[in-house]
Structure 1
Amino acid sequence: MLPFSLAQAAISLDRTRVIFGGDNKSVSLNIRNDNKELPYLAQAWVENEQSQKVSGPIVVLPPLQRVEPGAGGQVKLVKTPEVASLPEDRESLFYFNLREVPPRSEQANTMQIALQTKIKLFYRPKAITPNTGDVWQERLAVSIAGHGFQIENPTPYYVTISDMQDSSDKRESSEFTPVMLPPFSSRQIALTAGIITSPVLTFINDYGGYQKQKYACEATRCQIKKSR
């Protein structure tokens, strides 16, 4: 039998998502080795929307580095000339991957696990740079459709809805399965349990934080309920 313990990541990342603005040449991410005793290798790469590893239009430098015990490091996301092929009127979705490679164990018959972090990477063209304080999630069109809701995203940004519940529901979160709406798209959300008459949607913002938005529905149309 191989000895094992609960796996805990050694290499950590300083964020849960990346926004790469079109007016930037690069974006730097901070990483850290939380293991105080052993050095680790940190391997990083970018995937496209289909989770296929790509060599452009965004690349990672360096793709592999050694991080000493308890020390920090940095990886840089850099644009390549292929970025010119991306749409200018909407965001493009990629994924940033960070895998830790542990040092070889000196013990025999030991199973080692290389843990990996995968976060969303949004390329945001300069032409759609939002104004300070702009909350584009408020521009979603929400309507009642059958046993659920139809949600339309008329914006050039990806919008992630992490939770949806009724305003009378006092739980921190429900059993809602998070959904991500691409730019200029719509999605029908079926309710599998409970009844929602006054929906409260929870969005994830650029910084990975959560923002709640209440709606009031009349007939089939729902409007944002402004707080007084």
Structure 2
Amino acid sequence: MRKLSQAFIYLSLIMPTLSHAAGVQIGRTRIIYNAEKKEISLPLVNKDNALPWLIQSWTDTGDETTRGPFIVTPPLFRLDAQKEQSLRIAWNGSSLPEDRESLFYMNIRTIPATAKEDSDKNMLRLIYKTRLKLFWRPSGLKGTPGDTCKNLHFRQEKSDVIVINDGAFYSVFDGLQFGNTPLPKADMVAPFSRIAVPLPAKAPGTQISWRCITDYGNASEKYTSTLIQG
């Protein structure tokens, strides 16, 4: 029988956008927790043909330290080769805003087992850590995530583009461009808030275009707008 070994030096890799970590495949790239649900599930599949993996899971508030208001079960378990198991995620009842989405992060650490015949060898093994966005979505919010993305406003102030979100949902960019120039530092904008994105020096044009990532993890349609000055 193969066993999990502690006799190795492990290297931790953070892979926030991947839907799998080596032999373990994670069922989605983002998690939407609708408030009316008692719990939601996240399927995990061990694609390894022979070895089990150890799975550890928890949520945080975004600082990678403070635990989020969710109970994840099982928090630590062994997933055998070619087997599937779902994590169950349940809100713990803590007070959260009712007029907008809240963002947390789901952490999944996967540790590969070591074959018995390799247990005495000096080997470098990898620990994979995947972080998924977890959106807490209250009931009865006005509009949709698609509407929020479509209705973003853009204004230029000096050397920045100010992105304004008047909606109740997060907008996470799949891409943002000023003319033909990508703005790679654009990540996301929270509900009822704004962010400043640096403009490249002497970038020509007045058109801004963008796509957002949908609930299903793919890109929305492309939207365009004229950048308002000042």
Please state which band the TM-score falls in when normalised by the shorter chain. 0.7 to 0.9
Letter in 1 for 2:126: I
* 2:167 maps to 1:158: no
Give the share of equivalent positions with the same residue, in percent.
Answer: 27
Gaps of 5+ in 2: 1-7, 14-20
> CA distance change for structure 1 residues 47 and 202 in 2, over 3 Å: closer, same or farther?
same
Gaps of 5+ in 1: 222-228
> CA distance change for structure 1 residues 120 and 28 in 2, over 3 Å: closer, same or farther?
same
Who is 2:147 aligned against? 135
* 2:209 maps to 1:197: no
Q: Secondary structure in 1 aligned to 2:222?
A: strand
Who is 1:125 aligned against? 138
Query: 2:57 & 2:227 partners in 1: Cα distance?
Result: 49
**Do the aligned partners of 2:185 and 2:197 also contact (CA within 8 Å) in 1?**
no
> CA distance change for structure 1 residues 192 and 212 in 2, over 3 Å: closer, same or farther?
farther
Who is 2:158 aligned against? 146
Q: 2:216 aligns with which of 187, 207, 216?
A: 207
Q: Which has the higher relative contact order, 1 or 2, with Cα contacts under 8 A spaced 6 or more apart?
A: 2
Q: 2:192 aligns with which of 177, 184, 204?
A: 184
TM-superposed CA distance for 1:106, in Å, is 1.3
> CA distance change for structure 1 residues 106 and 137 in 2, over 3 Å: closer, same or farther?
same
Residues 107-136 of structure 1 deviation map (CA, whole Å, 9 limit, x = unaligned): 4211111111111101011131756x9522
**More moved, 42-51 vs 208-217:** 208-217
Letter in 2 for 1:90: R
Letter in 1 for 2:83: A
Q: 1:88 aligns with which of 95, 98, 112?
A: 98
Who is 1:15 aligned against? 28
Query: 1:219 & 1:86 partners in 2: Cα distance?
Result: 34
RMSD: 2.7
Give structure 1 regions of 4+ aligned residues with deviation exceeding 4 angstroms: none
Give the TM-score taking structure 2 as reference length: 0.81
TM-superposed CA distance for 1:21, in Å, is 0.4
Letter in 2 for 1:49: G
Who is 2:5 aligned against? none
**Do the aligned partners of 2:152 and 2:165 also contact (CA within 8 Å) in 1?**
yes
Query: 2:150 & 2:122 partners in 1: Cα distance?
Result: 55
Residues 160-197 of structure 1 deviation map (CA, whole Å, 9 limit, x = unaligned): 12322245x3xxx9461232111111112221253342
TM-superposed CA distance for 1:3, in Å, is 11
* 2:121 maps to 1:108: yes
Give the TM-score taking structure 1 as reference length: 0.81
**More moved, 180-189 vs 21-30:** 180-189
* 2:108 maps to 1:98: yes
Query: 2:191 & 2:148 partners in 1: Cα distance?
Result: 11
Query: 1:216 & 1:178 partners in 2: Cα distance?
Result: 16
Letter in 2 for 1:50: D
Query: 2:223 & 2:96 partners in 1: Cα distance?
Result: 34
Query: 2:43 & 2:142 partners in 1: Cα distance?
Result: 24
TM-superposed CA distance for 1:24, in Å, is 0.7
Give aligned pairs, total.
Answer: 210
Q: Secondary structure in 1 aligned to 2:220?
A: strand
